[in-house]
Amino acid sequence: MRKRLIVLASLTLVSLVSCSREQGPVRDARAEAAASAAQRLQGRWVLMSFQPDTPLEPVLQLLLNEQINRLVVDFNGQTIVAQGPGLTINRTYKVGDAYLDHFKATVYDSYGVGVDAVCDFSGNMLLVNGVTAPWRGRASFRRAL
């Protein structure tokens, strides 16, 4: 009986140790992928296009039209500064799940309300799919020289 308890305890201990080792690298890999995406995002990007899922109000559409090829978004650490004709925006952001050239990001306004996006790097382009209203749609940015 005592031998059975020792064998059972040993198997349980081995299982726990192997499980904890398996989970460690997975968590590290996820954190490393998000950190890598955040690092690649650093720098200046120019808005090339935005196609909303639903039509914007006329005033917002006019403002958007003025920003195409002129709005520069600077990612620095965890902050974003976007500057374009008649527009300056300061926000914070966080990179979430990431793998290869794909990542999720959330941009927060001054009240802490987040706008979510699913993003992909493609050469010197950043392709963004906004999933939170009012910015649901697809945008493309080119890395500024």
Residue 111 lies in a domain: yes
- pLDDT classification of 16: cutoffs 50, 70, 90: very low
Enter the pTM of the model.
0.78
CATH number of 75's domain:
2.40.128.20
Let me know if residue 88 belongs to a domain.
Answer: yes
pLDDT digits (tens, 9 = 90+) for 20-62: 444 555 567 888 999 999 999 999 999 999 999 999 999 989 9
Q: Is residue 15 part of a domain?
A: no
Whole-angstrom distance, CA of residue 99 vs CA of residue 37: 8
> Does residue 113 belong to any structural domain of this protein?
yes
Specify if 27 maps to a domain: no
Q: Domain residues for 129?
A: 37-143
The total number of structural domains that make up the chain: 1
Confirm whether 22 is domain-assigned.
no
At 31, which helix (H) or strand (E)? helix 2-41
Q: 33 in helix, strand or coil?
A: helix
**Is residue 5 one of the residues assigned to a domain?**
no
Give the number of other CB atoms < 10 A from CB of residue 138.
14
| Domain contains 9 | no
